[in-house]
Structure 1
Amino acid sequence: MAALSARGPRLLLPLLGVRALHTSQGNPAAKVAVVLSGCGVYDGTEIHEASAILVHLSRAGAVVKMFAPDIPQMHVIDHTKGEASQESRNVLAESARIARGDITALSQLKAQDHDAVIFPGGFGAAKNLSSFAVDGESCRVHNDVQRVLEDFHKAKKPIGLCCIAPVLAAKVIPGVEVTVGQEEEQGGKWPYAGTAKAIQALGGKHCPKEVHEVHVDKSRNVVTTPAFMGHVALHTIFDGIGAMVSNVIKLTGK
């Protein structure tokens, strides 16, 4: 045994019936696109949601590529005050902060190159990826966002969305079933509960869920979870996003 040990621990693993770390198990990794909308809850991507999505995708062994539209933000919010500033920022450049610089313009995202797409929330989804924050049910969706959603839907590839982002699917995919949480404020626990009615006005079906839960529209391969639409502990949001990611990966078959 001493002689074997001297040759290195990796040689012991097969003898002990232990699989060596980092070896392939024969299953191809799911290729997942993540679409960002800036950096910061009030004018871009909700950073905790994006981070949770990336952590869960990493744990699932997915190959991830991040995208964002190369456009000006609707406006810039001073997050210490919650007030708009006079600055002008670019959505792609701000999203690069979350992506650690490894990001591509959304115009380059093609459904045929990926097995699934996921949209984090944050007000950027309602301000930069769409005009929902201003126009409500009469909102328009950014052209590339609409194209991506339509192409993944037509290809029957899974789409994951959390927080306010499900409004994008409600606008683009007729009759889609999504959740943004509960339909009543419940004493302030669900401050954005009115979004459920807007989803219905957009032509979608709203399915009430708690933050740790997901809704899976099996006929359209759309998975949604409330995330920060509800006021709960951060780890509960992390768990709900994990359930969303897990279901998206499951629907890829990888």
Structure 2
Amino acid sequence: MPNVAIILSGCGVYDGTEINEAVLTLLELERNGINYQTFAPDMLQAHTINHAKGEATQETRNVLVESNRITRSETGALEDLDVSKFDALVFVGGFGAAKNLSNFAFDQPHYQAIPQVNEVIQTFHSQNKWIVALCIAPVLLAASLPNIKVTIGNDQEIASLLESKGHTHVECKTDNFVVDVTNQLITTPAYMTGQSIKEVHEGIQATIQHLGTKIS
């Protein structure tokens, strides 16, 4: 049975992992007969947002600890991810990808993925293993790999930034996905364009089904 590593970035759309995207991804992996293990970096979040008010607070939270809120305490430290045990890699969206797994939210256009994330992307890629990225997470792939084809939906500002770095951006609707066959990447917009959990589910469902055809 195929085995997939999933990278989370905290708990909550504004400062961590987009929870709906995470749960839908886990559900679709299970429905497609794919084993998975979740991982997150053991580090402090860039900041903490009060999700009721959309305002920053003075709280300090840990990305790994927060990620375990989503997975019922099943998420391991990213440093313990053994690439040889997995057939593919999945990045879930949420602003944590842009704030904790990279500094995309704070340092455009000169952003970078954090070293742990950069290393895991390059290692999976060098071993010709498929990588999936949802929502804003394709920016992580664009930070770590050259000349790739991805989608973040239809955001022209981000698309232009990615294209300025030599990548190809493809506009994509919520219920669809984009495949870079050469680099073995699958990306889908999720909540970058989605207005409902039903729409987002359709895109994630199609994406994971396609991944299953590549690793089964």
Q: TM-score range with shorter-chain normalisation?
A: over 0.9
**Deviations, residues 7-45 of structure 1 (Å, cap 9, x unaligned):** xxxxxxxxxxxxxxxxxxxxxx11001100000000000
What secondary structure sits across from 1:129 in the alignment?
coil
Structure 2 match to 1:229: 192
Structure 2 match to 1:91: 63
Deviant stretches of 4+, over 3 Å:
none
**Deviations, residues 150-182 of structure 1 (Å, cap 9, x unaligned):** 011011100000100000001111011000112
Structure 2 match to 1:210: 173
- Change in Cα spacing, 1:131 to 1:247, as seen in structure 2 (3 Å) is same
Structure 1 match to 2:42: 70
TM-aligned CA deviation for residue 123 of structure 1: 0.2
User: Which structure exhibits the higher relative contact order, with contacts defined as CA atoms closer than 8 Å and separated by 6 or more residues?
Assistant: 2
Structure 2 match to 1:119: 91
Structure 2 match to 1:243: 206
- Report whether the alignment pairs 1:151 with 2:151: no
Structure 2 match to 1:137: 109
Instruction: Indicate if the aligned counterparts of 2:39 and 2:75 stay in contact, CA closer than 8 A.
Output: yes
TM-aligned CA deviation for residue 244 of structure 1: 1.3
Q: Give the whole-Å Cα distance in 2 for the aligned partners of 1:222 and 1:210.
A: 17
Larger radius of gyration: 1
Q: Give the whole-Å Cα distance in 1 for the aligned partners of 2:42 and 2:203.
A: 30
Number of corresponding residues: 216
Partner letter of residue 196 of structure 2?
A
Instruction: Indicate if the aligned counterparts of 2:194 and 2:200 stay in contact, CA closer than 8 A.
Output: no
What secondary structure sits across from 2:26 in the alignment?
helix
Map 1:135-214 → 2, pairs under 5 A: 135-183=107-155, 193-214=156-177
Q: Give the whole-Å Cα distance in 1 for the aligned partners of 2:9 and 2:161.
A: 21
Partner letter of residue 225 of structure 1?
T
Q: Give the whole-Å Cα distance in 2 for the aligned partners of 1:199 and 1:100.
A: 35
Instruction: Indicate if the aligned counterparts of 1:221 and 1:251 stay in contact, CA closer than 8 A.
Output: no
TM-score normalised by structure 2 residue count: 0.97
Percent of matched pairs sharing the same residue: 43
Partner letter of residue 113 of structure 1?
K
Unaligned segments of structure 1, at least 5 residues: 1-28, 184-192
TM-aligned CA deviation for residue 231 of structure 1: 4.1
Instruction: Indicate if the aligned counterparts of 1:73 and 1:128 stay in contact, CA closer than 8 A.
Output: yes
Q: Give the whole-Å Cα distance in 2 for the aligned partners of 1:203 and 1:70.
A: 32
TM-score normalised by structure 1 residue count: 0.83
Unaligned segments of structure 2, at least 5 residues: none
What secondary structure sits across from 2:213 in the alignment?
helix
What secondary structure sits across from 2:116 in the alignment?
helix
What secondary structure sits across from 1:223 in the alignment?
strand
**Deviations, residues 96-145 of structure 1 (Å, cap 9, x unaligned):** 00111011100111221100010000000000000000012211211110
Structure 2 match to 1:110: 82
